[in-house]
Amino acid sequence: MLLDRSRTGRSGRRDRDDPIVNRWALLAVPPIAFLVAFFLIPLIVVSLRSVTDFPRPAGDALANYGRFFDSAANVRVLGNTFWVAALSTVVCLALGYPYAYLMNIVRPRLAGLLLIAVLLPFWSSLLVRTYAWQVILRDTGIINTFLLDMRLIDEPIPLIRTTLGVMLGMSQILLPFMVLPIYAVMRRIDPEYTRAAANLGAPPFAAFRRVFLPLSLPGVLAGSLLVFVLALGFYITPALLGSPKDTMISQFIASAVQQRLDWGIGSTMAVILMGLTLTVLFVASRFIRLRDVFGSFEES
Amino acid sequence: MTTAGRPIDGSSERLDRPALVLRGLEKSFGDVPAVDGVDLEVRQGEFITLLGPSGSGKTTTLRMIAGFTRQSAGTIEIDGADMSQVPPYRRDVGMIFQNYALFPHMTAAENIAFPLEMRRASRSEIRRRVAEALALVKLEGFGGRYPRQLSGGQQQRIAFARAVVFHPRLLLMDEPLGALDKKLREALQLEVMHISRQLGATVIYVTHDQEEALVMSDRIAIFNRGRIEQLGRGEDLYDRPVSLFVADFIGDSNILRGWFERDGDGGWLVRDASRWRVGAAATARAALDGDRAAALVVRPERLRIVDPGDAGAAAAGANTVEASVRDVLYLGSIRKYELTLPDEQTATVRQQVGGNERVWQPGARVRLTWAVDDEVLVSDPGGRPSRPGDVPTAPLA
Ligand SMILES: Nc1ncnc2c1ncn2[C@@H]1O[C@H](COP(=O)(O)OP(=O)(O)OP(=O)(O)O)[C@@H](O)[C@H]1O
Ligand SMILES: [Mg+2]
pLDDT at A6 over 60: no
- From B238, B268, B287, the end of a domain falls on B238
Same domain, yes or no: A70 and A45: no
Same domain, yes or no: B231 and B257: no
Same domain, yes or no: A236 and A195: yes
What's the pLDDT band for B9 if we cut at 50, 70, 90? very low
Tell me how far the alpha carbon of residue B162 lies from the centroid of ligand 1, in angstroms: 26
Residue predicted with more confidence, B284 or B89: B89
Q: Once rounded to an integer, what is the mean pLDDT over residues A33-46?
A: 91
What's the pLDDT band for A58 if we cut at 50, 70, 90? low
Q: Once rounded to an integer, what is the mean pLDDT over residues B85-108?
A: 93
Same domain, yes or no: B103 and B196: yes
Q: Once rounded to an integer, what is the mean pLDDT over residues A83-103?
A: 95
Same domain, yes or no: B104 and B189: yes
Q: Once rounded to an integer, what is the mean pLDDT over residues A94-107?
A: 95
Q: Are B51 and B229 in contact (CB under 8 A)?
A: no
Range of the domain at B70: 12-238
Report the CATH number that the domain containing residue A216 is assigned in CATH.
1.10.3720.10
CB-nearest to B105 from A192, A200, A215 is A215
Closest CA to B303 of B376, B377, B374, B365: B374
Q: What does the pLDDT read at residue A179?
A: 95
Q: Is the CB of B34 under 6 A from ligand 1?
A: yes
What's the pLDDT band for A293 if we cut at 50, 70, 90? low
Tell me how far the alpha carbon of residue B68 lies from the centroid of ligand 2, in angstroms: 14
Q: Do B95 and A196 touch (CB under 8 A)?
A: yes
How far A210 CA lies from chain B's nearest CA (Å)?
9
Give residue-wise pLDDT tens across range A24-33.
788 888 889 9
Q: What does the pLDDT read at residue B109?
A: 96
Cα distances (Å, whole numbers) of residue B50 to B62, B93, B182, B206:
9, 17, 20, 5
Same domain, yes or no: B45 and B192: yes
Same domain, yes or no: A83 and A220: yes
pLDDT at A177 over 90: yes
- In one-letter notation, the amino acid at residue B166 is F
Q: What does the pLDDT read at residue A99?
A: 96
Q: Do B114 and A202 touch (CB under 8 A)?
A: yes
* Number of domains within chain B: 2
Closest CA to A176 of A117, A98, A111, A108: A117
Q: Once rounded to an integer, what is the mean pLDDT over residues B157-168?
A: 93
- Chain B's closest residue to A190, CA to CA, is B101
Q: What does the pLDDT read at residue B321?
A: 87
Same domain, yes or no: B326 and B234: no
Q: Among B11-20, B115-124, B192-201, where is mean pLDDT lowest?
A: B11-20
Same domain, yes or no: A68 and A45: no
What's the pLDDT band for B7 if we cut at 50, 70, 90? very low
Give residue-wise pLDDT tens across range B77-95.
999 999 988 999 999 999 9
Q: Which residues contact B123 (CB under 8 A, 6 or more apart)?
A: none
pLDDT at A143 over 50: yes
Question: B197 lies in a domain?
Answer: yes
Same domain, yes or no: B291 and B233: no
Tell me the ligand closest to B35's alpha carbon: 1
Residue predicted with more confidence, A256 or B344: A256
Same domain, yes or no: A48 and A87: no
pLDDT at A146 over 50: yes
How far B177 CA lies from chain A's nearest CA (Å)?
17
Same domain, yes or no: A146 and A43: no
Q: What does the pLDDT read at residue A288?
A: 72
pLDDT at B226 over 90: yes
Strand locations in chain B (E): 20-29, 32-42, 47-51, 73-78, 81-82, 93-96, 170-174, 203-207, 219-224, 227-232, 254-263, 266-271, 274-278, 292-298, 304-306, 318-330, 334-340, 346-352, 365-371, 376-379
Q: What does the pLDDT read at residue A291?
A: 62
Q: Among A66-80, A192-206, B62-76, where is mean pLDDT lowest?
A: A66-80
Same domain, yes or no: B114 and B189: yes
Range of the domain at A226: 61-299
Q: What does the pLDDT read at residue A10?
A: 44
Question: B388 lies in a domain?
Answer: no
Atom of ligand 1 nearest to the CA of B30: 4
Tell me how far the alpha carbon of residue B54 lies from the centroid of ligand 2, in angstroms: 7
Give residue-wise pLDDT tens across range B321-338.
888 999 999 888 889 999
β-strand partners of B32: B29
Same domain, yes or no: A208 and A100: yes
Q: What are phi and psi of B376, to 5 degrees?
A: -125, 135
B127 burial level (CB within 10 Å; 0-12, 13-18, 19+): middle
Report the CATH number that the domain containing residue B347 is assigned in CATH.
2.40.50.140
- From B171, B206, B238, the end of a domain falls on B238
pLDDT at B278 over 80: yes
Distance between CA A181 and CA B203 in Å, rounded?
41
Q: Is the CB of B29 under 6 A from ligand 1?
A: yes
Q: Among A131-135, B105-109, B333-337, B382-386, where is mean pLDDT lowest?
A: B382-386
Q: Do B89 and A210 touch (CB under 8 A)?
A: no
Give residue-wise pLDDT tens across range B343-362.
778 889 998 888 788 888 89
Q: Are strands B365-371 and B334-340 parallel, antiparallel or unpaired?
A: unpaired
Q: Are B3 and B90 in contact (CB under 8 A)?
A: yes
Question: B245 lies in a domain?
Answer: no
Mutate-to-test residue for ligand 1 from B31, B56, B69, B204, highest number of ligand atoms within 8 A of CB: B56
pLDDT, averaged across chain B: 86
Q: Is the CB of B54 under 6 A from ligand 1?
A: yes
Same domain, yes or no: A35 and A65: no
Question: B35 lies in a domain?
Answer: yes
Which alpha helices (DSSP H) does chain A contain, by range?
A: 5-8, 19-25, 29-35, 41-52, 63-70, 72-105, 108-119, 126-137, 142-149, 163-187, 191-199, 204-207, 213-232, 236-241, 249-258, 263-285, 290-294
Tell me how far the alpha carbon of residue B203 lies from the centroid of ligand 2, in angstroms: 16
Same domain, yes or no: B260 and B230: no
pLDDT at B245 over 50: yes
Give residue-wise pLDDT tens across range B175-204.
988 878 888 888 888 888 888 888 888 999
Q: Is the CB of B63 under 6 A from ligand 1?
A: no
Tell me how far the alpha carbon of residue B63 lies from the centroid of ligand 2, in angstroms: 10
Whether residue A189 lies within 8 A of chain B, CB to CB, comes out as no
The DSSP code for A209 is I
Kind and range of the H or E run holding B184? helix B182-199
Same domain, yes or no: A13 and A110: no
What's the pLDDT band for B3 if we cut at 50, 70, 90? very low
Same domain, yes or no: A82 and A8: no
Question: B392 lies in a domain?
Answer: no
Q: What does the pLDDT read at residue B14?
A: 53
Atom of ligand 1 nearest to the CA of B206: 22
Q: What are phi and psi of B368, to 5 degrees?
A: -100, 140
Q: Is the CB of B58 under 6 A from ligand 1?
A: yes
Question: B269 lies in a domain?
Answer: yes
Atom of ligand 1 nearest to the CA of B62: 18
pLDDT at B395 over 50: no
Which residue CA neighbors atom 1 of ligand 1 most closely?
B29
How many CB atoms are closer than 10 A to CB B163?
A: 26
Q: What does the pLDDT read at residue A63?
A: 85
β-strand partners of B49: B205, B220
Q: What does the pLDDT read at residue B384?
A: 60
pLDDT at B16 over 80: no
Tell me how far the alpha carbon of residue B18 lies from the centroid of ligand 2, in angstroms: 25
Same domain, yes or no: A28 and A94: no
DSSP string, B31-74: TEEEEEEEEEEE-TT-EEEEE-STTSSHHHHHHHHHTSS--SEE
pLDDT, averaged across chain A: 85
CB-nearest to A206 from B93, B118, B162 is B118
Distance between CA A71 and CA B112 in Å, rounded?
59
pLDDT at A247 over 90: no
Question: B395 lies in a domain?
Answer: no
Tell me the ligand closest to B52's alpha carbon: 1
pLDDT at A115 over 70: yes
Q: pTM of the entire structure?
A: 0.80
- Chain A's closest residue to B64, CA to CA, is A199
Residue predicted with more confidence, A205 or B317: A205
Atom of ligand 1 nearest to the CA of B52: 21
Q: Is the CB of B243 under 6 A from ligand 1?
A: no
How far A87 CA lies from chain B's nearest CA (Å)?
29
- Chain A's closest residue to B68, CA to CA, is A195
B118 vs A contacts (CB less than 8 Å): 200-202, 206
Same domain, yes or no: B29 and B116: yes
Atom of ligand 1 nearest to the CA of B56: 21
- In one-letter notation, the amino acid at residue A2 is L
pLDDT at A195 over 50: yes
Question: B394 lies in a domain?
Answer: no
Same domain, yes or no: A66 and A42: no
B115 vs A contacts (CB less than 8 Å): 200-201
Q: What does the pLDDT read at residue B6?
A: 46
What's the pLDDT band for A19 if we cut at 50, 70, 90? low
Same domain, yes or no: B180 and B281: no
CB pairs under 8 A between A and B: 62
Tell me how far the alpha carbon of residue A191 lies from the centroid of ligand 1, in angstroms: 17
Q: What does the pLDDT read at residue B277?
A: 86
Closest CA to A52 of A268, A270, A269, A276: A268
* Number of domains within chain A: 2
Same domain, yes or no: B257 and B181: no
Q: What does the pLDDT read at residue A289?
A: 66
Q: What are phi and psi of B112, to 5 degrees?
A: -70, -30
Max mean pLDDT range (A123-137, A273-287, B30-44)? B30-44
Same domain, yes or no: B65 and B186: yes
Q: Which residues contact B255 (CB under 8 A, 6 or more apart)?
A: B244, B247, B248, B295, B296, B297
Q: Do B115 and A200 touch (CB under 8 A)?
A: yes
Tell me the ligand closest to B226's alpha carbon: 1
Q: Do A196 and B68 touch (CB under 8 A)?
A: no
Atom of ligand 1 nearest to the CA of B208: 25
Distance between CA B367 and CA B376 in Å, rounded?
20
